[in-house]
């Protein structure tokens, strides 16, 4: 079945370490997104991408980086510059560039500081 796969499900980061969260979709969707969710809070947009080799900063991009080298993949790197990375990270995609279709979400990655 088609869907969005996020890995790993749980991730631990040491101080000063960069970590990369994987997001792969086989839905042939153009747009992909990364969100951060803190406990009891809403989703905050980190980065989004409309097409391959193009992406835009969301509302909380500082301390994060992304790439979109392939349509199906949109990895997120949490850099050491992100001082409070502990959160639930959700990847999403949507099927077209008009934005009228709902986003499909992965199951998320829970990142914690060691």
Partner 1 sequence: AQKITQTQPGMFVQEKEAVTLDCTYDTSDPSYGLFWYKQPSSGEMIFLIYQGSYDQQNATEGRYSLNFQKARKSANLVISASQLGDSAMYFCAMRAFYLKVTFGTGTKLQVIP
93 near partner 1, judged by CB under 8 A: no
Element (H, E) at 109: strand 109-113
Report the first-to-last Cα separation within the chain, whole angstroms: 35
Give least dist CB 109 to partner 1, A: 10
* Pick from 21, 8, 7: nearest CA to 85: 21
Strand partners, 74: none
Nearer to partner 1, 8 or 17 (CB): 8
Could you give the CA distance from residue 10 to residue 88 in angstroms, rounded to a whole number? 9
Q: Which stretch binds partner 1 (CB under 8 A): 13-21, 62-70, 72-80, 101-109?
A: 101-109
39 near partner 1, judged by CB under 8 A: no
Residues of this chain that interact with partner 1 (CB under 8 A) are 31, 33, 35, 41-45, 48, 50, 56, 58-59, 88, 90, 92, 94, 97, 99-100, 102-105, 107-108
């Amino acid at each position: 079945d088609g869907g969005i796969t996020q890995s790993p499900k749980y991730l631990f980061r040491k101080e000063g370490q960069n970590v990369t969260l994987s997001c792969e979709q086989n839905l042939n969707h153009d747009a992909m997104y990364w969100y951060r969710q803190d406990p009891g809070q809403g989703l905050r947009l980190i980065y989004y991408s409309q097409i391959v080799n193009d992406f835009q900063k969301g509302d909380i991009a500082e301390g994060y980086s992304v790439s979109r080298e392939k349509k199906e993949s949109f990895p997120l790197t949490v850099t050491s510059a992100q001082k409070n990375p502990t959160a639930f990270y959700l990847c999403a995609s949507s099927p077209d560039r008009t934005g009228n279709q709902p986003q499909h979400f992965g199951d998320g990655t829970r990142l914690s500081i060691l």
